Chain A
Amino acid sequence: MFGKAGKAAAIAAIAALALTACGRSDTGTTGSSSGGEAFPKDSAIGVALPKKTSENWVLAEKLFNDGLTSAGFKPTVQFANNGVAEQQNQISAMISKGAKVIIVGALDGSQLGTQLQQAKDAGATIIAYDRLLLNTANVDYYVAYDNFKVGVLQGQALLDGMKAKKPSGPYNIELLAGSPDDANAKVFFDGAMSVLKPKIDDGTLKVLSGQTSFEKAVTQDWKAENAQRRMDTLLTGSYGTAPLDGVLSPNDTLARAVITSVKAAGKPLPVITGQDSEELSVKSILAGEQYSTINKDTRKLVEHAIVMVKDLQAGKKPEINDDKSYNNTVKTVPAFLLPPVIVTKDNVKTAYVDDPVLGPLTK
C-alpha cells in the first residue's frame, strides 16, 4: 500500500513539473547598460548606504528619498548598521525588487563583488557613491568629492593654523586616520601626508608618539570612542610636559572626540582639522575650538547622483570629469568629482550662506 503512495507522490512530482512547462523566465537582459537603453520613469532605484554614523548620512537618506521620489522614481534607501553582510543582503533585495540603478555607499568597497555581479546580470547600473567599489568590473560610475584633495586641504589647514598661533616651529602634532575598511580613509590620509610628510622629514613637524603610518593611525569604524581612547593614551604617554600643537583629524566626529580628550587632560587646545561640516563642529569653529572643517555639501553630491540617475533613465550617458584617477584594480572607473572647500573661522560666515541648517548658525 505504501509503494502505491510512493508512486503516487512521484507521479505528482513529475506532473507538477510538467505542468509548469514554461521553465525559467528569461529575465537576463544582456549585460552592459552603462548608457544607451532608457528605462521607465517610475522604475525602482536602490540606494545602499553604510552605517548611520554621522549627520551627513542621515541627511543623504532624506535627500535621496525626496529627490528620487519627486523625479518619479521608486527609491529604496537603506543603511547597513549591522555590517557588510547586511549590506550584501540589502543589495540582493534591491535586485529582487528590480532596481534599474543601484547607488552604493559601500561599507567595505571590496566585499560586494558577488552582489554587484548579480546586479549586473539583472541589468542594473551601479554608481559608487562617495566610496569607490574595489576589485570588481561591475561598477559603472563613481560620484564623490575629490578625497585626495580633501586630505591636502586638511594638511595645509593644519600647517596654516599652527603658524598663525606660533610663527615658527618645530610643532608637535599627532595623526588620526579613518576606518581601515573605508577605502576613502587611506586617500584622505595620503592627501594630508603629501603636505605633512616633507615637513616631518625636515624636522618642522614632530610626531612624539612616532605613530605616523596609516595602520597605526586608524580609527576602527570611525568611532569617536575609539579615537578618544587613543588620544587619551597619546596624551598621557607622550605629552606629559611637551605641548601638543596640532592634530590631524580626518572628520568632525573624530575632531570633537579629540577636543573632549584634550580638555579632559587639562591641556590647551591644539589646532584640529575636520571634515563634513557637522552642525556641532561648525559651532565649535565659531567658538574657536576646532580649527577647520571641510564643506563637502551632501546636497550637491546627492543632487549630482540623482542627475546621473535621470540621465541613465533618459538613455543618456552621464557626465564625468575624471576617467583616469580611480582604478579599482580591475578597471578605471569613470568618475564625477566635486571640489571640496576648506572652512575655518575666517570664511565660516560665507561658506554656509546657502545652507538651510548651517546658514542661520553663522549669522
Chain B
Amino acid sequence: MNALKKLFGGDTRQFGMIFALVALIVLFQWLTGGITLTPGNVINLFNGNSYILILAIGMVLVIIAGHIDLSVGSVAAFVGMVVAIAMRDWGIPWYLGILLGLGLGALIGAWQGMWTAYVGIPAFIVTLAGMLIFRGAQQFVGQSNSIPVPRSFQYIGAGYLPEVGPSTGYNNLTLLIGLAAVVYVVFSEVRRRRAAKALGAEVAETWVVVLKLVLICAAILYATYLFATGRPGTSFPIPGLILAVMVLIYGFISSKTVVGRHIYAVGGNRHAAELSGVKSKKINFLVMMNMSIIAGLAGMIFVARSTSAGPSDGTGWELDAIAAVFIGGAAVTGGVGTVIGSIVGGLVMAVLNNGLQLLSVGADWQSMIKGLVLLVAVAIDVYNKSQGRASIIGLMMKNFSRPSGGPGTPLQPDEVTSTKETISREA
C-alpha cells in the first residue's frame, strides 16, 4: 500500500479514472471470455470511436473556455455530405476533399465564432441554431439520400498501415510506432526529472520512477502487440493514428502554449484575463472555429468509415462528446479540463459500449448504464471537491497536462535554494 502511494505521488485516488478504465477492461475481458482484448476487437474499439474522441478534443477546449457546442453533430454531417458530393459530382481527389472539408469546417466555425465572440450571443444559443441550420443544410444538399464515397477516401476512416520491411509476423509500422511511444515516454520522464532537479525541486526515488515507467511501457507494448498481431492487412488503424496525432498536438497546445494558457484564463475568469491583457474575444472566436474544423474532420472520418454519407449522420454526437469531456473531469463552469482527461473519459464510454455489445446487452440497457456512469463519475468528482479534497480527475489530469517538476513530486519550497534561471529585474 505504501509502495502504491509512493508510486502515485501520495494519492492513489489521483489515478481514479485510469484505474476505472483498466478495471472496466479487465471486467469485460473476464465477462466476455477474453474477447475484449483481442486484436480485432481493440482495433474495432478505436475505429468505431475515434471520431467521437476527436470531437471530444475540440469540445474540451470549448468547455474549458466556458462555452458549449451543440452543433458538432450537424456540422460533422454537413461537412461529410458536402465532401461526399464534391468527390462524386466534381470528381475531386480525396486529398482535395479533405482540404475542402477542413476549409468548410473553418468557415462554419468562423460563422459561429463571430456570433459567439463578437456579437456576444451565448454559444449554447448560437450552436443550437447551428445544430438546426446545418442539419437542414445537410439534408438539403444530400436530398436526404446516402452518397457513397470513393475507396481512396475510405482510407482515413477504415484504413490500415501498409506492410513494409521484412516479414516478421507483425505489422512492422505498428511496432515502430509502439517503440517510438515507449522511447518518448521514457525520455520525456528523464527530461522532466532533470529539469526538476535543476530547479532544485525534490524528485521521486529512482525505483518509484522506474516502476512507473515499466508499468506504462508495459501497457504501451501490450497495446502494440495487440495492434500488430491482428488479421493480416490490419494494424494500428488510421483513424486511431489521426486521433493520436490530434491528442499530441492539442495536448501540447492546451498545456504548453500561450493560446492554451489564454483559453484556461478566459474560462476561469474572463474579467481577470481581460485585465491581464488577454484578448478574450479572439480566444472565444478561435475556440469555436477550431471546434467546427474538428467536427468537419470527425464527420469525414465517419463518412469514410461508413463508405457513404447518410442523412442521419452525426445525430447525438454532441452529447457523446460532451459526456466524454465531463467524465474526463472538466467543469461545467469552465476553466477546468484536459485533453487527455477527455480522451480517457471517452474511452471509458467506448469500452463500456463495446463490452455491453459483446455481452449482447440491449441498446435500452446500454443507454441506462451509460447515463448512470456519467452521473456517478461526475458525482464522485463533485463530492471530492466539496469535501475539500482535490478532484480525482482534475488532479490526476493535472499531472498529465501541466507538467511541473514531475508528477507526484510536490515541491518542497524550503529545499529550493537556487534557481538556474535568474531574473535580471529585482523587485
A and B touch in the complex (CB under 8 A): yes
In contact, B363 and A52 (Cβ under 8 angstroms): yes
In contact, B357 and A83 (Cβ under 8 angstroms): no
- Once A93-B41, A111-B146, A181-B146 are accepted as A-B contacts, the answer to whether A5 and B186 lie under 8 Å apart by CB is yes
In contact, A83 and B232 (Cβ under 8 angstroms): no
In contact, B363 and A80 (Cβ under 8 angstroms): yes
In contact, B168 and A23 (Cβ under 8 angstroms): yes
Q: Which residues of B180-215 have CB atoms within 8 Å of chain A's CB atoms? A: 182-183, 186-187, 190, 193-194, 206, 209-210, 213-214
Question: Complex formed: what's the CA distance from A156 to B195 in Å?
Answer: 83
In contact, B316 and A83 (Cβ under 8 angstroms): yes
Q: Which residues of A contact B363 (CB under 8 A)?
A: 52, 78-82, 86
In contact, B229 and A221 (Cβ under 8 angstroms): no
Does B217 belong to the interface (CB within 8 Å)?
A: yes
- Once A26-B232, A83-B312, A113-B307 are accepted as A-B contacts, the answer to whether A9 and B182 lie under 8 Å apart by CB is yes
Question: Complex formed: what's the CA distance from A83 to B313 in Å?
Answer: 8
Give the B interface residue count (CB, 8 A): 68
Closest to A221 in B: B312
Q: Which residues of A95-126 have CB atoms within 8 Å of chain B's CB atoms? A: 95-97, 107-114, 117-118, 121-122
Chain A 71-85 near chain B by CB (<8 Å), digits 1 or 0: 000001111111111
Does B247 belong to the interface (CB within 8 Å)?
A: no
Q: Which residues of A contact B48 (CB under 8 A)?
A: 85, 88-89, 92
In contact, A180 and B206 (Cβ under 8 angstroms): no
Question: Complex formed: what's the CA distance from A114 to B210 in Å?
Answer: 42
The 8 Å CB contact of A76, one of B47, B193, B360, is B360
In contact, B357 and A181 (Cβ under 8 angstroms): no
In contact, B44 and A92 (Cβ under 8 angstroms): yes
Does A20 belong to the interface (CB within 8 Å)?
A: yes
Closest to A92 in B: B44
In contact, B308 and A135 (Cβ under 8 angstroms): yes
Question: Complex formed: what's the CA distance from A6 to B190 in Å?
Answer: 8
Q: Which residues of B139-162 have CB atoms within 8 Å of chain A's CB atoms? A: 143-146, 148, 154, 157-158
Q: Which residues of B contact A82 (CB under 8 A)?
A: 316, 363, 367
Q: Which residues of A contact B305 (CB under 8 A)?
A: 88, 114
| A171: min CB distance to chain B, Å | 28
Does A242 belong to the interface (CB within 8 Å)?
A: no
Question: Complex formed: what's the CA distance from A229 to B351 in Å?
Answer: 39
Q: Which residues of A contact B230 (CB under 8 A)?
A: 24
- Once A76-B360, A84-B312, A93-B357 are accepted as A-B contacts, the answer to whether A23 and B144 lie under 8 Å apart by CB is no
The 8 Å CB contact of A111, one of B169, B183, B210, B307, is B307
Does B302 belong to the interface (CB within 8 Å)?
A: yes
| Stretch binding the partner chain, chosen from A10-18, A141-149, A195-203, A293-301 | A10-18
In contact, A111 and B308 (Cβ under 8 angstroms): yes
Chain B 116-160 near chain A by CB (<8 Å), digits 1 or 0: 000000000000000000000000000111101000001001100
In contact, B354 and A111 (Cβ under 8 angstroms): no
The 8 Å CB contact of B231, one of A5, A121, A134, A181, is A121
Does A287 belong to the interface (CB within 8 Å)?
A: no
Chain B 288-331 near chain A by CB (<8 Å), digits 1 or 0: 00000000000000100111101111011100000000000000
Does A164 belong to the interface (CB within 8 Å)?
A: no
In contact, A96 and B40 (Cβ under 8 angstroms): yes
In contact, B146 and A78 (Cβ under 8 angstroms): no
| A120: min CB distance to chain B, Å | 11
Does A357 belong to the interface (CB within 8 Å)?
A: no
Does B225 belong to the interface (CB within 8 Å)?
A: yes
Does A218 belong to the interface (CB within 8 Å)?
A: yes
Does B221 belong to the interface (CB within 8 Å)?
A: yes
Q: Which residues of B343-374 have CB atoms within 8 Å of chain A's CB atoms? A: 353-354, 357-358, 360, 362-364, 367
| A113: min CB distance to chain B, Å | 3
In contact, A17 and B143 (Cβ under 8 angstroms): no
- Once A93-B354, A110-B146 are accepted as A-B contacts, the answer to whether A13 and B179 lie under 8 Å apart by CB is yes
Does B273 belong to the interface (CB within 8 Å)?
A: no
Q: Which residues of B contact A117 (CB under 8 A)?
A: 158
Question: Complex formed: what's the CA distance from A92 to B36 in Å?
Answer: 12
Closest to B370 in A: A82
Question: Complex formed: what's the CA distance from A90 to B363 in Å?
Answer: 10
| A85: min CB distance to chain B, Å | 7
In contact, A89 and B193 (Cβ under 8 angstroms): no
In contact, B364 and A180 (Cβ under 8 angstroms): no
In contact, B358 and A9 (Cβ under 8 angstroms): no
In contact, A13 and B41 (Cβ under 8 angstroms): no
In contact, B154 and A2 (Cβ under 8 angstroms): no
- Once A17-B175, A110-B308 are accepted as A-B contacts, the answer to whether A97 and B367 lie under 8 Å apart by CB is no
Q: Choose among A27, A85, A90, A136 the residue with the greatest number of B CB atoms under 10 Å from its CB.
A: A85
Q: Which residues of A contact B354 (CB under 8 A)?
A: 89, 93
Closest to B73 in A: A83
Does A70 belong to the interface (CB within 8 Å)?
A: no
| B210: min CB distance to chain A, Å | 5
Chain A 121-163 near chain B by CB (<8 Å), digits 1 or 0: 1100000000000111000000000000000000000000000
In contact, B214 and A12 (Cβ under 8 angstroms): yes
Does B170 belong to the interface (CB within 8 Å)?
A: yes
| B364: min CB distance to chain A, Å | 7
Chain B 388-418 near chain A by CB (<8 Å), digits 1 or 0: 0000000000000000000000000000000
The 8 Å CB contact of A97, one of B171, B358, B364, is B358
Closest to A98 in B: B35
Q: Which residues of B contact A107 (CB under 8 A)?
A: 312
- Once A113-B306, A114-B305 are accepted as A-B contacts, the answer to whether A2 and B362 lie under 8 Å apart by CB is no
A-B contact pairs, 11 of them (CB 8 A): A8-B210, A9-B186, A28-B231, A28-B233, A88-B306, A95-B44, A111-B307, A112-B307, A113-B307, A114-B47, A181-B144
Question: Which residues of B line the A interface, CB within 8 A?
Answer: 32, 35, 38-41, 44, 47-49, 143-146, 148, 154, 157-158, 168-171, 175, 179, 182-183, 186-187, 190, 193-194, 206, 209-210, 213-214, 217-218, 221, 224-225, 228-233, 302, 305-308, 310-313, 315-317, 353-354, 357-358, 360, 362-364, 367
Given contacts A114-B154, A114-B306, 6 further A-B contacts (CB under 8 A): A5-B186, A6-B187, A20-B225, A108-B311, A108-B312, A113-B306
